[in-house]
């Protein structure tokens, strides 16, 4: 069983944080081919007491991404799905903290990061996020 404080402590100890607020931690990962990928971890509380961490990474802006192609590209992904944050199209996954150990966040974090980077490269041809 993990808490948001456990997640935050783990992330602080393992990664370089780009920005941090009470319920948000922003990371920037260096990817292959000199690319980078922004990833945001959000602490979300459902129904006032159920604590989750949402791992989210943008890969394009709403008007610049063909959403049908994005959905097709993500159709067979095991972990996560497409979301929207403001005007940014994102790839995201959420994990309930009351039934997970801190080490079980690492794999979804890696999958969201690499998937968003691949989607960005495939669908926009750029590296803005």
Place of tokens 């404080």: 5
How, if at all, do strands 81-85 and 88-96 pair?
A: antiparallel
Going along the chain from its start, the domains and CATH numbers come out as: 4-123 (3.30.1460.10)
How would you class 89 by CB atoms within 10 Å of its CB: exposed for 0-12, middle for 13-18, buried for 19 or more? buried
Q: Longest C-alpha distance within the chain, in Å?
A: 43
Tell me, what's the pLDDT at 101? 84
The pLDDT tens digits for 74-125 are 998 888 999 999 999 999 999 999 888 887 889 999 999 999 999 999 999 9
Please report how many Cα atoms fall inside a 13 Å half-sphere around the Cα of residue 76, on the Cβ side: 1
pTM for the predicted model, two decimal places? 0.91
Residue 12 binned pLDDT confidence (cut-offs 50, 70, 90): very high
Cα gap 59→15, rounded to integer Å? 21
Tell me, what's the pLDDT at 47? 86
Structure tokens at 69: 């192609």
Structure tokens at 4: 């948001």
The pLDDT tens digits for 30-69 are 998 899 999 999 999 988 889 999 999 999 999 999 999 9
The pLDDT tens digits for 15-30 are 999 999 999 999 999 9
Closest among 97, 124, 116 to 1, alpha carbons compared: 97
Structure tokens at 107: 């794999």
């Amino acid at each position: 069983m993990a808490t948001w404080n456990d997640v935050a402590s783990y992330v602080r100890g393992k990664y370089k944080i780009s920005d941090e607020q009470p319920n948000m931690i922003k990371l920037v990962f260096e990817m292959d081919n000199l690319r980078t990928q922004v990833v945001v971890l959000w602490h979300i509380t459902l129904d006032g007491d159920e604590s989750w961490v949402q791992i989210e990474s943008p890969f394009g802006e709403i008007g610049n991404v063909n959403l049908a192609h994005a959905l097709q590209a993500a159709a067979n992904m095991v972990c996560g799905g497409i979301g929207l944050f403001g005007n940014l199209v994102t790839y995201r996954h959420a994990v309930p903290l009351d039934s997970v150990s801190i080490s079980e966040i690492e794999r979804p974090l890696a999958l969201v990061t690499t998937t968003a980077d691949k989607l960005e490269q495939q669908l926009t041809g750029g590296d803005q996020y």
